[in-house]
Amino acid sequence: MSQTYINELSNHIDSTVVLKGWVYNSTNKGKLNFLVIRDGTGICQCVVFKPNVGEELFQKSLTLTQESSIIISGKVKEDKRAPGGFEIDVASMEIIQIALEYPISPKEHGIEFLAERRHLWLRSARQHAILRIRHELIRAMRDFFDGRGFTLIDGPIFTPAACEGTSTLFETEYFDLGKAYLTQSSQLYAEAAAMAHGKVYSFGPTFRAEKSKTRRHLTEFWMIEPEVAFNDLNDNMDLAEDFLEYIVGRVLKNKSAELQTLERDTKFLQNVKRPFPRISYDEAVKILLKKEIAFEWGNDFGGTDETIISQEFDRPVLVHRYPSAIKAFYMKRDPENDKLALAIDVLAPEGYGEIIGGSQREDDLTKLEERIKKHKLPMEAFNWYLDLRKYGTVPHSGFGLGLERTVSWVCGLEHIRETSPFPRMINRITP
């Protein structure tokens, strides 16, 4: 008989099925042994009743420890009170392995203890729900762009030069060619691809060697970066809004059980509907000053500043037109005020802060060359990039959204480390 998965049990009421999985919990009450089995798709209570299975099998079932691997067959009964809504009346059972004493018990453990055992921690209900939501977000992100005529074109992971200076890059020796750096953004490559395909996106791992020990920084994370030829700043903001509304909607629609496992209050997620508020950097500064935060015009917002700004709104807020001095060289200046860059950040509500950074790009050759000089970047490294402004330059825009920050917000997590299957942080590279 072939395996049935726990999330398919509703199709098998009153028939006999085979479940393959692991013991999550067990409770013995006289002639009854209750085994809670998980199989990756859900959990199900399996009832071993001595008169039904006989003395030998019953005794064997009493030896099952947490995480022991087994194959069970029995009849599916609907039971509204049971977790998952079904129960199995066990007829036979094959033990694959009696697990050694499992280090992660239902009691509370310290975060370092769990992080060190991430390979096992993944089995816990909470972690399971988070990674399912992560998967749904990835699928939704791809579906969004694939369904709107975008072509997926990934940038390289080994890059010859920094996008925005070298301070936050991981470097490695690259044969006879000197140093290579792990990518911190595919944007420049996405720009080249947009000039070939019009609408493109890249989606891949991104590396930042910044020494940020915060609840929002990983050294390795995934970023999705759309880039669109002929989009201006407003088109870029429209795209970001549309995109966030879609991906959050998909999680609400398809992952409600997981959100429930996480005890996520979805009120704010239900609010993620266009139009989002749009405020300028100047207006964001005013919010901080009104709250008597010591903030000087021209500085970048720190994590707490973003938290305070985002708490003013019931849905994501777009902040546009930042001082050009704090933004990357490739961002186009505001034609109405040269001190400002046509940049946007999207801050997630509930204090989560920046999840998207983007801009309209500088499309003028001379201005871009000046900017590269002013930022003291090596001109030779950008020759190919400057070609894009020599051969049919057009206005264009794009942004980068960090997957893990988005997962953290959607799941309502305190720390980004739980959003990655095997997170990499400045103080952790194992397991």
Instruction: Give the residues lining the site for ligand ATP (CB under 6 A).
Output: 208, 217-218, 221, 223, 354-357, 400-402, 404-405
Q: Judged by CB, which is closer to Mn ion: 58, or 276?
A: 276
State the binding partner of 363 from Mn ion, ligand ATP, none, CB within 5 to 8 A by kind: none
Q: Is 353 left (phi over 0), alpha (psi -120 to 50) or beta?
A: left
Partner touching 46 among ligand ATP, Mn ion, none, CB below 5 to 8 Å by kind: none
Nearest residue (CB) to Mn ion, 21 versus 353: 353
Alpha helices per DSSP H over 198-302: 233-254, 256-261, 267-270, 281-290
Considering beta carbons, is residue 245 or 354 the nearer one to Mn ion? 354
> Shortest distance, CB of residue 208 to ligand ATP, whole angstroms?
4
Q: What are phi and psi of 255, to 5 degrees?
A: -130, 40
CB of 225 to Mn ion, least distance (A): 12
Min dist. Cβ of residue 114 to ligand ATP (A): 20
Nearer to ligand ATP (CB atom), residue 208 or residue 396? 208
The residue (of 67 and 354) whose beta carbon lies closer to ligand ATP is 354
217 interface partner picked from Mn ion, ligand ATP, none, CB below 5 to 8 A per type: ligand ATP
6-40 as b/e: b if 16+ CB within 10 A: beebeeeeeeebebbbbbbebeeeeeebbbbbbbe
SS3 helix, strand, coil % of the chain, rounded to 5? 35, 30, 35
Q: Which does 255 bind (CB under 5 to 8 A by kind): ligand ATP, Mn ion, none?
A: none
Q: How far is the CB of 361 from ligand ATP (least distance, A)?
A: 14
Q: Output 88 or 403, the one with its CB closest to ligand ATP.
A: 403
Shortest Cβ 402–ligand ATP spacing (Å) = 2
Minimum Å gap between C-beta 266 and Mn ion is 27
CA distance linking residue 17 with residue 7, whole number of Å: 13
Amino acid sitting at position 279: I
DSSP letter string, 133-201: HHHHHHHHHHHHHHTTT-EE-PPPSEESS-SS-STT--EEE-GGG-EEEE-S--HHHHHHHHHHHSEEE
359 versus 420: smaller Cβ distance to Mn ion: 359
Distance between CA 174 and CA 156 in Å, rounded?
14
Three-state SS letters, 29-83: ECCEEEEEEECCCCEEEEEEEHHHHCHHHHHHHHCCCCCCEEEEEEEEEECCCCH
Pick one of ligand ATP, Mn ion, none as the site partner of residue 74 (Cβ within 5 to 8 A by kind): none
Q: How far is the CB of 174 from ligand ATP (least distance, A)?
A: 23
Binding partner at 218 among ligand ATP, Mn ion, none, C-beta below 5 to 8 Å by kind: ligand ATP
- State the minimum distance, in angstroms, from the CB of residue 111 to ligand ATP: 18
The binding site for Mn ion (CB under 5 A) comprises 357
Separation of alpha carbons 73 and 57, rounded Å: 13
Distance CA 418, CA 313 (A): 26
Closer CB to ligand ATP, 67 or 225, in the complex: 225
CA–CA separation, 425 and 430 (whole Å): 10
Q: Of Mn ion, ligand ATP, none, which one sits near residue 355, judging by CB under 5 to 8 A according to partner kind?
A: ligand ATP
CB 318 within 8 A of CB 279: yes
With respect to Mn ion, which residue has the nearer C-beta, 226 or 357? 357
- Report how far apart, in Å, the C-alpha atoms of 140 and of each of 88, 118, 180 are: 34, 26, 33
| C-alpha distance from residue 260 to each of 76, 158, 181, 255, 271 (Å) | 25, 40, 41, 9, 17
Q: Taking CB within 5 to 8 Å according to partner kind, which of Mn ion, ligand ATP, none is near residue 221?
A: ligand ATP
Least separation in angstroms between CB 345 and Mn ion: 6
Tokens found for residue 419 = 């959003």
- Token pair belonging to 380: 């030779």
Instruction: Choose between 21 and 400: whose C-beta lies nearer to ligand ATP.
Output: 400
- Least distance between Mn ion and beta carbon 238 (Å): 19
Partner from ligand ATP, Mn ion, none binding residue 48, C-beta < 5-8 Å depending on class: none
Q: Which does 418 bind (CB under 5 to 8 A by kind): ligand ATP, Mn ion, none?
A: none
